[in-house]
Amino acid sequence: SADQAVTFGDLFAEVLIDRAAQRPRHERGADLHHTLQLSFEEALAGATRSVTVTRRETCRTCSGVGRTRASAGPCPLCEGTGAVRSVRGHMVFSRSCTACGGSGLQRPQPCESCGGAGLETRSETVQVRIPAGIGDGARVRVPGKGNAGVSGGPPGDLYIFIHLRRHPVFERDGTTLVTRVPITFTTAALGGDIEIPGLDGARHQISIPAGIQSGKQLRKRGA
């Protein structure tokens, strides 16, 4: 009959809802962000820096399960049968007990270390490799060093945002170093040689052509 069709439909819906409720949700862990200041020299040459981050890690007491031991005694809702019966008209239906997950036993007690979350907060020192030539505002991704996932989900990533300290002498234009050097009127008119400091501390000689104008750019390759 039509009433029976609706009743069986309700039964199938209950079965699907019950299975969905028992299915663990595998969620990816959240990404973490950290700002790292670099010197001008480190940004150009590349570097490896140690970064201490506070992460949500898998609980070491319960291994991320969220519980440590099972409670003694049968489930009070289904009285140890693992199933709950319901009556609709002349029909009797049975479905898995949601309180015990069909085991017939009381739920295990939550882990005392993590409160049942399966995660705990820990600090970790991470080695971050900074590629040579990195620019101000760039970011470096460290895979798997974000927060731990939930119910076996994958961990998030750690993103390092780079902030460069200003150099007292040089500026950057891509991979080119730029500096401004004052010269005398005589050198500008007649030409000559001047010395400029290099990033490595060495002195480099630059030839000034006669009649050079203010603001003119000269290039010293490999300096």
pTM: 0.61
Nearest Cα neighbor of 58 from 151, 157, 159, 158 is 151
Q: Which residue has the tokens 């993590």?
A: 114
- Residues of the chain with pLDDT > 90: what percent? 24
CA gap 3, 42 in Å, rounded:
76
* Residues 160, 53 contacting (CB under 8 angstroms): no
Residue 160 has pLDDT above 50, yes or no: yes
Residue 2 has pLDDT above 50, yes or no: no
Q: Which residue has the tokens 């019966």?
A: 85
Determine which helix (DSSP H) or strand (DSSP E) holds 44, and give its type and residue range: helix 40-45
User: Rounded to the nearest 5°, which phi and psi values hold at 198?
Assistant: -95, 165
Q: What is the pLDDT of residue 8?
A: 47
Q: What is the pLDDT of residue 130?
A: 94
Residue 58 has pLDDT above 90, yes or no: no
